[in-house]
């Protein structure tokens, strides 16, 4: 029976703590006899019961020693992504890994794994809102903000919130097979494996209007997405040369004019897929992506999921949102951002 330890610390978000406890700690009809031995381990609490956020207190007989001896160690979301994780937890994770444990982070728990140094030189996932911060704090880690999880075998990192479910189901699939994982997913009323990634949940708002910025031009272009705009068209509207516009555009947005237009067209297609019953051909036309084939190609590349599947995930009678994982740091999930 494999032991699975969940690190419980003061201030941890309750949601990411509850998910593994529910998935791995609930006995069900299909639970194999050699199912996980779940142990919630209080870490760095000086003997006190760890309190999840400010609402719940976790009472457990397990601590650091049980975490170090576990076969798999799960690290829920961090209580403070701007601060340092407890030294005792970082040391325990390093020791557990040295002894052969598989380490798994959920959401911003990637910050704790990064502090151990075990993510250096590897690709990692975390909540897309924290991706830039994780990359800034730990430059030796390659952060992928698009995927739902990254599996290196000995170390796994998961993306935000409900992606923790995807990570847990992935572990079950690896340890007990597809049939058990699918059965557990049905009980959770969750997809067993989600195509796509976090990219489809990242907002791309327009900047505020300011006369001393490119915002007026960006708003002008956003209202004409269905037109075949060129850099020359944008430069003419901005009353500048194409070369100067490209330079100003990159300084203001970090990307090129045509890449920015592509991102806005994908965002417009998202709105139409979510809120209308328009045919894919019409969505392609209105969003400025041209043909249905062009929409499918660029939308799938940018969002990790085809337009039809994306629309289904947002329908009232749909089966749930979509997403994907990456294994070994070499998966095929596309990064968030504009399509070429």
pLDDT at 117 over 60: yes
Of the candidates 81, 73, 67, the one whose C-alpha atom is nearest the C-alpha of residue 156 is 73
pTM of the predicted model as reported, rounded to 2 decimal places = 0.63
Percent of the chain having pLDDT more than 90? 45
Please tell me whether residues 287 and 174 are part of one structural domain.
no
Please tell me whether residues 66 and 160 are part of one structural domain.
yes
- Does 165 fall in a domain? yes
Please report the pLDDT score of residue 199 as a whole number: 55
- Does 14 fall in a domain? yes
- Does 292 fall in a domain? yes
Please tell me whether residues 155 and 16 are part of one structural domain.
yes
- Does 251 fall in a domain? yes
Per the model's pLDDT, the better-predicted residue between 333 and 225 turns out to be 225
Please tell me whether residues 70 and 208 are part of one structural domain.
no
- Does 184 fall in a domain? yes
**Given 164, 197, 230, which residue is the final one in a domain?**
197
- Does 308 fall in a domain? yes
- Does 336 fall in a domain? no
35: domain CATH number is: 3.40.50.880
* pLDDT, tens digit (0-9, with 9 covering 90-100), for 264-322: 898 889 888 877 889 999 999 999 999 999 999 999 888 778 999 888 766 533 333 33
- Does 305 fall in a domain? yes
pLDDT at 207 over 90: no
Examine the residue annotation and report whether 107 is marked as an active-site residue of this protein: yes
Please tell me whether residues 244 and 151 are part of one structural domain.
no
Percent of the chain having pLDDT more than 70? 81
Please tell me whether residues 23 and 102 are part of one structural domain.
yes
Per the model's pLDDT, the better-predicted residue between 69 and 208 turns out to be 69
Cα–Cα distance for residue pair 292/282, rounded to 1 Å: 8
DSSP 16-77: HHHHHHHHHHS--TT--TT--EEEEEE-SSTTSPPEETTTEE---SB-HHHHHH-SEEEE--
Residue 36, CA atoms < 13 Å, CB-side half-sphere: 27
**Is-contact 193 182, C-beta < 8 A?**
no
Can you give the residue range of the structural domain that contains 219? 203-315
Please tell me whether residues 185 and 213 are part of one structural domain.
no
Please tell me whether residues 137 and 250 are part of one structural domain.
no
Please tell me whether residues 112 and 74 are part of one structural domain.
yes
300: domain CATH number is: 1.10.10.60
Q: How crowded is residue 44: how many other Cβ atoms within 10 Å of its Cβ?
A: 19
Please report the pLDDT score of residue 195 as a whole number: 57
Cα–Cα distance for residue pair 231/226, rounded to 1 Å: 15
**Is-contact 102 118, C-beta < 8 A?**
no
Cα–Cα distance for residue pair 132/123, rounded to 1 Å: 13
Task: Give the total number of structural domains in the chain.
Answer: 2
Find the catalytic residue in 21, 41, 107, 168. 107
On average, the pLDDT of the chain sits at 82
Q: Residue 156 is inside which H or E element, if any?
A: strand 155-158
Please report the pLDDT score of residue 45 as a whole number: 60
Instruction: State the average pLDDT over residues 208-232.
Output: 79
pLDDT at 133 over 80: yes
Sign of the alpha-carbon dihedral angle for 252, 253, 258, 260: negative
Which of 96-100, 132-136, 200-204 has the lowest average pLDDT?
200-204
Of the candidates 111, 98, 188, 191, the one whose C-alpha atom is nearest the C-alpha of residue 157 is 111
Please tell me whether residues 152 and 91 are part of one structural domain.
yes
**Given 154, 178, 197, which residue is the final one in a domain?**
197
Please tell me whether residues 34 and 130 are part of one structural domain.
yes
Please tell me whether residues 44 and 144 are part of one structural domain.
yes
């Amino acid at each position: 029976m494999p032991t699975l330890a969940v690190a419980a610390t003061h201030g941890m978000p309750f949601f990411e703590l509850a998910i593994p406890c529910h998935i791995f700690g609930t006995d069900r009809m299909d639970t194999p006899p050699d199912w996980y031995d779940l142990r919630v381990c209080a870490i760095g609490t000086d003997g006190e019961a760890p309190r999840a956020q400010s609402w719940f207190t976790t009472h457990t007989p397990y601590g650091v020693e049980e975490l170090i001896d576990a076969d798999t160690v799960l690290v829920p979301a961090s209580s403070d992504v701007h601060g340092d994780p407890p030294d005792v937890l970082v040391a325990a994770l390093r020791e557990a890994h040295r002894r052969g444990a598989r380490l798994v982070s959920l959401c911003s728990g990637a910050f704790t794994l990064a502090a151990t140094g075990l993510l250096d030189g590897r690709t990692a996932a975390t909540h897309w809102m924290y991706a830039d911060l994780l990359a800034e704090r730990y430059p030796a880690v390659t952060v992928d903000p698009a995927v739902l999880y990254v599996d290196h075998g000995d170390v796994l990192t998961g993306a935000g919130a409900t992606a923790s479910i995807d990570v847990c189901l992935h572990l079950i699939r690896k340890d007990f097979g597809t049939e058990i994982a699918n059965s557990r997913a049905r009980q959770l009323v969750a997809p067993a494996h989600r195509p796509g990634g976090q990219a489809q949940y990242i907002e791309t708002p327009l900047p505020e209007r300011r006369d001393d910025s490119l915002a007026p031009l960006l708003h002008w272009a956003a209202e004409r997405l269905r037109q075949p705009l060129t850099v020359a068209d944008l430069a003419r509207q901005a009353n500048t040369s194409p070369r100067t516009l490209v330079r100003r555009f990159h300084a203001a947005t970090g990307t090129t004019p045509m890449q920015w237009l592509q991102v806005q067209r994908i965002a417009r297609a998202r709105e139409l897929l979510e809120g209308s019953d328009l045919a894919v051909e019409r969505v392609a036309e209105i969003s400025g992506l041209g043909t249905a084939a062009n929409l499918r190609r660029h939308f799938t590349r940018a969002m990790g999921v085809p337009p039809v599947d994306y629309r289904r995930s947002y329908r009232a009678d749909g089966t749930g949102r979509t997403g994907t994982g990456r294994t070994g740091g070499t998966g095929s999930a596309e990064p968030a951002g504009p399509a070429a």
